[in-house]
Structure formats: structure tokens, C-alpha cells
Amino acid sequence: MKNFDFRSDTVTHPTPDMRAAMANAEVGDDVYGDDPTVNALERSAADRLGKEAALFVPSGTFGNQLALLTHTGRGDEVILGDGCHILMHEVGASSVIAGVQLRVLPAFAGQMKLEAVEKAIRGQDIHYPKTGLIAMENAHSCGRVLPLEYMEALYGLARSYGVPVHLDGARLFNAAAALGVEAKALAAQTDSVMLCLSKGLCAPVGSLLLGRQGFIDRARKNRKLMGGGMRQAGILAAAGQLALDEMTCRLETDHKRARYLAECLKDIPGVDVIEEALDINMVFCKMTLSESDDVVCKALLEKGIKINGAEDGLYRFVTHYWTDEAAIQGLVAAIRPYVTTV
Ligand SMILES: *Cc1c(COP(=O)(O)O)cnc(C)c1O
């Protein structure tokens, strides 16, 4: 059965090669450090990103929250931008797990103003919490990419105050592809970085947290505390290795498909594509439909096409490994009859 799923790049099933690698993976008990497939994945990810060490974790949320827990102490303040995943989509975990306070600054296209960040870094007054961390997100889930120069400037600022920086790089390789740089160049502008293997990279499960050796050693212990010590995790890491080695090299195709989808949507009178937010594999648009989102989503589902309803007035379509041009044409043809121009 054909199933064209534009809801997210998290819906990507493992490729046949991944399933074969999983079936044949050599495994051990990773809590003992004995799983050769996990160890190889962690080593090669660290080398690829120019970090000293890496740690395989169950999810992106887990990796971000583990980074917060490992960088900060209870009651510390974490500076981050509004709209970011750690703030909006991690169930308030920062206050539950790390026990930190979030200092939220306005973000424009995913970027906090540097002057605002500098002003938000706390001084020595006895009343103040300690500024424990600054977090960035790149690619940002608003569809934008932060330029390398911005990351350099923010990291330079943070270092001048002795504050560590974490990068939520769930789509780090999308950002690198969009910017035309190595992912290593982006990772160099942070103390720690989390990346997801299970988004557009097709691995079924898993993310990585990377940083200095001492940080990752502490994170490994904290991962156990959080219940993320996994046993024969090489089964998962085997797919993650292919995600890292092969799938990271084809993301420009997804980005091209997103631009193609945007062009097709623009041909429909009444669809307003947000052109500035077309940096990666996401297309955001405004449109008025003749039926409710529920009705339209259900009608499309009957044709084997999955989409989400609008969020804050915006529809989001995500391209990935399993959505080719034919799928895009199918999506556009299926939506067209519902778009109104009033
Ligand atoms: C998806 C995502 C995460 C979390 O990943 P999960 O594996 O879904 O927990 C974190 N940050 C960003 C920017 C994301 O898009």
C-alpha cells in the first residue's frame, strides 16, 4: 500500500538496508559498555562532528534534557528563544528533570538578539539565579536555518561570560546541507550538541548527545539516572550508523523536494506559501479550505495521503526519504479542490 505521509520527517520507516543491518548487528550489554555496534556509532559520530565523545540516547527530547541536567545545577537559568522545542514541545521537562528556570527571549527566525542575550546573562547580585546555559536550535523547527556567523557570534559571547552553549540539532544535518557547510563547523560553535537519527535520516529510534569527554562521562551516568541505560542497543545503533553514514548525504534532495512542493502549492490560487521559511525540508503555508481540517485530512487519508491540520493558522508539510515527486503531485492534486480564494 502506498502511504504518502507529509506530517513530519519522524514518520520515516527504516530502509531495507537498515533492517538488514539491524538483523545482523553484533551486540552486547551497552550499560557495561560492551556493545560494539553502539561503541562504533558513538566513535564515528564524535569524529564526524569533531567532538571528543558521543552518547546514544533514546530520543531527541531525552538528549536535550540530559544536556540540561548535565550542564546545570538546580535553580540555574537557561537562556533560550521563544518557539524552541525545549520550551514548547518537551512537556515542561526542564523544570522536572534538571530543575532549571527557563529565561525565554523573543526569537526572530529562530535567532535571539545578541544584545538581548548579553543583557539576560546574570551578574553576581545575591538575588539572581546563576545563568547555567544558553541553548540554540539549528535547523529551527520553524523551518529556518541559523547562519554559521550567528552561531559563532553567540558562542563567542557566551564564552566571554563563561556560560556553556547547547545546540538542539535535531536536524543538524539539514542545517549543514542548507548552509553548504560540514556539520562539524556548526558543532564547533557549541559545547554540546544533540542530533536525531530518527527524523529525516530514517533510523527507527535514537539520538546522540555529543561534547567533551568529561561532559559525556557525566551524561552517561545521568542517562542511567533517567532510565536511558539500554542493553543490546546495537540493534538500534546499526540503523543509526547507516543514518549517519548514508542518509545525511542525501538531505539536499529533501530540501529540493520541499521547494518543488512550494512551487506546486503556489500555483493554487488562495495558497500563500511562507517563502522565507523554506530553508530545509518543510513548507509552511496559509490557505482557507472549504471544509474543516478534520474533513479534509480524512478525505486525503482515503487516498493514502497523511497531513496535519493547521497549527496557529499555518499548515506544515514535511518532505523526506519516502515522499518523492509523484507523492508531492498526489498531495497537491488532492488539496487543490478544497482551497478557496475567499
Ligand atoms: C523532534 C525534535 C526534538 C525531539 O526529538 P524526539 O526524538 O521527538 O524527542 C528536539 N528538538 C527539535 C528541534 C525537534 O524538531
- From its phi and psi, is residue 313 left (phi > 0), alpha (psi between -120 and 50) or beta? left
**Ligand 1 site residues, Cβ closer than 6 angstroms:** 59-61, 64, 85, 137, 141, 168, 170, 196, 207
- What is the tens place of the pLDDT at every residue in 102-156? 999 999 999 999 999 999 999 999 999 999 999 999 999 999 999 999 999 999 9
The number of helix segments (H) and strand segments (E) in the chain equals 14, 16
**How many Å lie between the centroid of ligand 1 and the Cα of residue 333?**
30
- What is the tens place of the pLDDT at every residue in 225-268? 999 999 999 999 999 999 999 999 999 999 999 999 999 999 99
Q: Whose CA is nearest to atom 6 of ligand 1?
A: 60
**How many Å lie between the centroid of ligand 1 and the Cα of residue 196?**
7
- What is the tens place of the pLDDT at every residue in 111-122? 999 999 999 999
Grid coordinates representing 165?
A: 552553549
3-state DSSP assignment of residue 94: helix
107-108 and 111-112 strand pairing: antiparallel
Atom of ligand 1 nearest to the CA of 84: 13
Q: What is the pLDDT of residue 2?
A: 62
Which amino acid makes up residue 127? H
Within 8 A by CB and 6+ apart from 228, the residues are 57, 58, 62, 66
Alpha carbon of residue 29 to chain centroid: 28
pLDDT over threshold 50, residue 298: yes
Q: What is the pLDDT of residue 260?
A: 97
Q: Burial-class residue 160 by CB neighbours within 10 Å (0-12, 13-18, 19+).
A: exposed
